[in-house]
Amino acid sequence: MLNTPGSKGRRRKIRILEGTPAELGYRFPAEWVPHQGTWLSWPRPEGISFPDKYHAVPPVLARIVHAIAARERVHINIPNGNYERIVRQQLREHGCPTRNVVFHRIPTNECWCRDHGPAFVLRPSRGRGTRAAIVDWGFNAWGGKYPPWEADDQVPTAVAADLGLPVFYPGIVMEGGAVDFNGAGTVLTTTSCLLHKNRNGGLPRHEVERYLKAYYGQQHVVWLGDGIAGDDTDGHVDDLARFVGPRLIVTAVEPDPRDANFKVLRENRRRLARARDQDGRPFEIVEIPMPSPVFHAGERLPATYVNFYFVNGALLVPTYRDRKRDRRALETLQRLLPDRAVVGIDCTEIAWGLGAIHCLTQQQPAF
């Protein structure tokens, strides 16, 4: 057992589970399964994610929170009561009611909850519904790039304390944006990120696969290559290709051969064509265009439509004020997901932080 402060300052005992999720029957579900809620970490003005542009961020976050809260509960990590008051005011000022929003006194360094947030794994329990646990991977700010990161690294266990859930500790660094899941046993990732020496000292591929299978409860790993221009994560897969069904993958492509992303995305498309699922079957691949290049202060930003996020009954998709390609991306995703509302949210301002909707969010599946 581990004693840890809860979000209200009370010390709570955390049960540490022995063994791995796979050994105990837990697995990480697909993002499109029903959610109990979504977790976010509110950015601080003194953080480093949005230099000289923080004022433009709360209106976009309010639109994202509003879209999620209309469909499921939103959990927001803030450092203290004063921040809660400020964030409530920011949400209301930008037209977002807070009746389905819960605040947690969990301090963070930055706002990218996909990478530092809790990874919920589920296990069927006979006669008692579905049980949940949290996997607390290590976090080192994308290979030690942005210190300090100690507060971010403690978020999953703090969430477990608030929810009364047990925890698995793999003991290696992993980020939620580096992996994607088909819900049937396959995880999609990239060599450029997970095999980089700045994460786990260059842990060999077979060892990384062993951790992915053991702690996410998966059977099979599909590897892509490099990430897109402007991506400071060394190649997160949630900028490149995403599952929208057990055998259906949406992948970004760049039509302009002069663009820096053309060769990278073409190579990843070739890898997907050769890939097989956990049962040895090929995937159906649907291409979606990249937006026109987005720049700020002369810097190329990692703008991509596949940084979308599933919520109950909807798909939230980042857009970038590129009318033609925004529309094509939304129409393609709506065709693939006819039972969901595909909702575009302008993330041009958020992209200055080098992320978008998926990077900001972490799902809490129903249990």
Question: Among candidates 6, 234, 29, which has minimal Cα distance to 107?
Answer: 6
Pick the catalytic residue from 111, 193, 347, 359. Answer: 359
Cis bond upstream, residue 148 (ω within 30): yes
Q: In 3D, which of 91, 177, 128 has the Cα closest to residue 360?
A: 177
Would you call 6 helix, strand, or coil by DSSP? coil
Instruction: Please enumerate in sequence order all residues whose Cβ is within 8 A of that of 248, keeping only pairs 6 or more positions apart, or say none.
Output: 283, 284, 286, 336
CB 60 within 8 A of CB 23: no
Instruction: Give the 3-state secondary structure of residue 40.
Output: strand
Residue 336: Cβ-neighbour burial (10 angstroms; 0-12, 13-18, 19+): middle
The encoded tokens of residue 68 equal: 């999620």
Say whether 111 is catalytic: no
What CA–CA distance (Å, rounded) separates 138 from 324? 40
> With contact defined as beta carbons under 8 Å apart, do 233 and 196 qualify?
no
Give the chain's largest Cα–Cα span: 58
Separation CA 174–CA 152 (nearest Å):
13
b/e per residue 152-175 (b: at least 16 CB within 10 A): bbbbbbbbbbbbebbbbbbebbbb
User: Which residues carry out catalysis?
Assistant: 359
